[in-house]
């Protein structure tokens, strides 16, 4: 490894100076310094200069990694295959998403009944640099009109454009300032959408906490849109959404103060002056209407059912005391869909999919035997359809789609990707390991067959652990490139996620958040103890809430890993709730204002507040986007400043700030490829590699 040491010396990092400005806050009598508060101002010229200086240092380092271009070349080669989404019928057309390989954004195509194919929408034409993306497309029931949402530069703020489906001509002026919203049509007349008032100050970081549901009638100005819900102090919620039933008879409104738990209301659209009917007046559960037959409502809920169930009630008296079980709760977590006149119950069994089909009387029709062990999705469609499409994937199998017949239960493969990657060369193993408190946690470990357990395999340990989100097996091109290089990819299902229902989620929230970090640390120790890897060859990675996971783990156990890769992370736990929609995350985190105990707990693990002078932290590459208005980049900026000031030893602490990019969704393919060439290059270089572990795969194009 001597050669690598020489190269490292040649690109020794001289960090830009970051000013410290006296600033402090007092929480329950305790003063907390915040010298980098000025970096929160995303509109400040000083912040812009800081970003440019940091990027200059970071890219100078990354460009000197000898195998960075080889990784980029292989990522481009492997990425360059046709990708096809599952078809869906709207009116007289069949629509589908397709990417011919390296297009920055997927294109929406359609076929007529006689099979003629044409482009319907090409987001690659929305902007020159590919950073304007399509973020939603909804058709009227008859398929004659469509409304689509676009995001510019990765922002969560959206614009809506309405077109006639036949001639693709724009119907009227663009609607603006839409956020955290879908589109739900009321006949062909107009649609419901949600938005916040545009905040004073920066629209990328200022707080947004009163969501409003509007109805837009076609042919009228947006200023005339009717406020349906959310305009009064009594109706103030951070998240409000409206959806129209498939038969067009009802409007369902969900209202939440955080990312967990919602109220639920109903309006009879056949009677325009009818009042809102309350289905649920509290936020103690996650509940939504999945379908209706006349006035009979079917609801998916975790109320008194942590793993979810489907209940049935009547629209005239829809409150919980009138609910009866339709598909009862089981020991496994339920995800439900409807299509072709049937219900489909997908269960997670240790993060692996099992699917069952029921009729509208609640009778089990069949278990759908899936193509393998992995993740199935897309079980659902319109009531009238006798066939629909589902997809199947796992960590070493690229996603394929299947055409399913609801009457027979038979399916056939509709599309399989032609990719320069052989899944049979790789294997996934699910293991269960013990966390600090004895809890059994599952983890799936994927790698090339014949792996030597000699502790020298470059390994990425990836985690999330929050917000009831489940990490289920799925194929990723970037992970395939990592595994081609002899890399191990390990994903534990940490507490805080939804893999084992509400109890598993709650066990990783608020004053129990440390459980999540302990689960992740125990996963790292398992991989080391079993010889998959060692400290010198271990990288930890996660994004958003997973970025918090990485930040907390590397500050608590810097001795455990060689490389840390926190992406778009929530890293300042004392102030996260003061930006954009951050206050909505309080269900998972609690806030520093809640109580002295909660403040001290948050301060005890907040990554920004736990970087200690004189500590040797792992080589760290922080990644964020300057347009991230979900987890504002100030989190990453402040963490980078703390690390650069206090890091001892020679491990670099760098921040890579993507310009004109947001939290991740809609990021152009070209930017994604460059980002992962940098991330994997940085990781392998700081594990001591002078050249790629498997250069042959680069030179011969994967053969």
pLDDT tens figures, 355-372: 999 999 999 999 999 998
Of the candidate ranges 23-27, 350-354, 681-685, the one whose mean pLDDT is the lowest: 350-354
Distances (CA, A) of 143 to 70, 147, 163, 187, 534: 46, 11, 11, 10, 56
CA atoms within 13 A on the CB side of 682: 29
Cα distance between residue 559 and residue 528, in whole Å? 12
Backbone angles phi, psi at 149, to 5 degrees: -105, 140
Give the active site residue among 544, 606, 627, 636. Answer: 544
CA distances from 423 to 86, 392, 462, 476 (A): 22, 14, 20, 12
Digit-coded pLDDT (tens) for 6-44: 455 546 799 999 999 999 999 999 999 999 999 998 878
User: If you average pLDDT over residues 266-292, what whole number do you get?
Assistant: 94
pLDDT band at 641 (very low <50, low <70, confident <90, very high): very high
Q: Which two tokens stand for residue 377?
A: 């999705």
Identify the pLDDT of residue 225: 94
How many CA atoms within 13 Å lie on the side-chain side of 402? Answer: 23
| Among 211, 216, 635, 663, the one annotated catalytic | 663
Range scoring the smallest mean pLDDT among 219-223, 586-590, 665-669: 665-669
The rounded distance, in Å, linking the Cα atoms of 99 and 123 is 11
β-bridge mates for residue 84, sequence order: 98
Across 251-262, average pLDDT: 90
Mark whether 577 is an active-site residue. Answer: no
E-only strand ranges, 408-558: 411-415, 426-434, 440-448, 459-462, 488-492, 538-543
Nearest-angstrom CA–CA distance, 511 and 502: 16
Q: Six-digit token pair at 243?
A: 């959806």
Burial of 130 (0-12, 13-18, 19+ CB in 10 A): buried
Task: Please choose, from the candidates 541, 542, 545, 508, the residue with its C-alpha nearest in 3D space to the C-alpha of residue 630.
Answer: 545
Task: Out of 206-210, 426-430, 651-655, pick the least confident.
Answer: 206-210
DSSP output for 221-268: -GGGPEEEES-SSTT--SEEEEEE-TTSSEEEEEEESSSS--EEEEEE
Task: Answer whether residue 629 shows pLDDT above 60.
Answer: no
Q: Phi and psi (nearest 5°) for 522?
A: -65, -35
Nearest C-alpha neighbor of 286 from the set 304, 313, 266: 304
Note if 237 is an active site residue. Answer: no
pLDDT in tens, 550-571: 999 999 999 999 999 999 999 9
Given this model, what pLDDT does residue 664 score? 47
With CA atoms as reference, report the closest residue to 41 among 259, 204, 230, 264. 204
User: pLDDT tens digits, residue range 291-342?
Assistant: 999 999 999 999 999 999 999 999 999 999 999 999 999 999 999 999 999 9
pLDDT digits (tens, 9 = 90+) for 149-174: 998 876 778 899 999 999 999 998 78
Q: Helix, strand, coil % (nearest 5) of the chain?
A: 25, 35, 45
How many angstroms separate the Cα of 241 from the Cα of each of 230, 469, 619? 10, 20, 42
Structure-token pair, residue 622: 């922080």
Comparing 82-96, 97-111, 655-669, the range with the smallest average pLDDT is 655-669
């Amino acid at each position: 490894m001597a050669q690598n040491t020489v190269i490292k010396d040649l690109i020794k990092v001289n960090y830009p100076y970051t000013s410290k400005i006296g600033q402090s806050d007092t929480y329950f009598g305790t003063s907390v310094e915040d010298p980098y508060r000025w970096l929160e101002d995303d509109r400040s010229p000083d912040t812009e200069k800081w970003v440019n200086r940091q990027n200059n240092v970071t890219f100078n380092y990354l460009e000197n990694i000898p195998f960075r271009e080889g990784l980029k070349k292989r990522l481009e080669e492997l990425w360059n295959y046709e990708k096809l989404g599952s078809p869906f019928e709207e009116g007289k057309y069949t629509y589908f998403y397709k990417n011919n390989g390296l297009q920055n954004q997927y294109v929406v195509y359609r076929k007529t009944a006689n099979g003629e194919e044409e482009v319907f929408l090409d987001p690659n034409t929305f902007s020159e640099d590919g950073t304007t993306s399509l973020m939603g497309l909804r058709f009227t029931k008859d398929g004659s009109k469509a409304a689509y949402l676009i995001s510019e530069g990765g922002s969560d703020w959206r614009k809506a454009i309405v077109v006639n489906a036949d001639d693709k001509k724009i119907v009227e002026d663009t609607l603006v300032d839409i956020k955290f919203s879908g589109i739900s049509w009321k006949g062909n007349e107009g649609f419901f959408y949600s938005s916040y008032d545009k905040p004073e100050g920066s629209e990328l970081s200022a707080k947004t906490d009163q969501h409003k549901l509007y109805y837009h009638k076609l042919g009228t100005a947006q200023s005339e849109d009717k406020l349906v819900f959310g305009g009064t102090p009594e109706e103030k919620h951070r998240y409000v959404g409206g959806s129209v039933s498939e038969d067009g008879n009802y409007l369902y409104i969900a209202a939440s103060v955080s990312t967990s738990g919602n109220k639920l209301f109903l309006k009879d659209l056949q009677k325009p002056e009818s009042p809102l009917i309350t289905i649920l007046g509290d936020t103690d559960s996650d509940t939504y209407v999945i379908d209706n037959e006349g006035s009979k409502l079917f609801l998916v809920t975790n109320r008194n059912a942590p793993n979810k169930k489907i209940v049935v009630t009547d629209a005239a008296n829809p409150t919980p005391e009138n609910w009866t079980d339709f598909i009862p709760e089981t020991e496994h977590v339920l995800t439900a869909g409807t299509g072709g006149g049937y219900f489909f119950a997908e269960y997670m069994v240790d993060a692996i999919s099992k699917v069952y089909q029921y009729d509208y009387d609640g009778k089990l029709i069949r278990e759908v035997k899936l193509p393998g062990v992995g993740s199935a999705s897309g079980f659902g469609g319109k009531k009238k359809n006798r066939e629909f499409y589902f997809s199947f994937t796992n960590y070493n199998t690229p996603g394929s789609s299947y055409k399913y017949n609801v009457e027979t239960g038979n399916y056939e493969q509709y599309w399989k990707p032609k990719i320069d990657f052989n899944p049979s060369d790789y294997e996934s193993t699910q293991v269960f390991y013990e966390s600090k408190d004895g809890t059994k946690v599952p983890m799936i470990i994927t790698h090339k067959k014949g792996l030597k357990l000699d502790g020298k395999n470059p390994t990425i340990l990836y985690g999330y652990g929050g917000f009831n989100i489940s990490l289920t097996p799925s194929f990723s091109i970037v992970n395939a490139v990592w595994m081609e290089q002899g890399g191990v990819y390990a994903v534990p299902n940490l507490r805080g996620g939804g893999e084992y229902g509400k109890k598993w989620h709650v066990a990783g929230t608020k004053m129990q958040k440390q459980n999540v970090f302990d689960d992740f640390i125990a996963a790292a120790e398992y991989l080391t103890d079993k010889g998959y890897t060692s400290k010198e060859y271990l990288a930890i990675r996660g994004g958003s809430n997973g970025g918090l996971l990485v930040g907390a783990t590397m500050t608590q156990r810097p001795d455990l890993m060689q490389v840390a890769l926190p992406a778009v992370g929530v890293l300042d736990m004392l102030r996260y709730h003061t930006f954009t929609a951050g206050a909505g995350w309080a269900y998972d985190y609690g806030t520093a204002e809640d109580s002295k105990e909660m403040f001290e707990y948050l301060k005890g693990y907040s990554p920004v507040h736990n970087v200690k002078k004189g500590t040797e932290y792992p080589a760290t590459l922080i990644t964020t986007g300057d347009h991230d208005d979900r987890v504002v980049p100030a989190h990453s900026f402040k963490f980078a400043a703390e690390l650069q000031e206090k890091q001892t030893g020679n491990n670099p602490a760098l921040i890579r700030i993507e310009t004109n990019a947001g939290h991740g969704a809609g990021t152009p393919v070209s930017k994604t490829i460059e980002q992962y060439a940098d991330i994997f290059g940085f990781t392998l270089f700081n594990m001591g590699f002078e050249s790629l572990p498997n250069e042959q795969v680069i030179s011969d194009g994967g053969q």
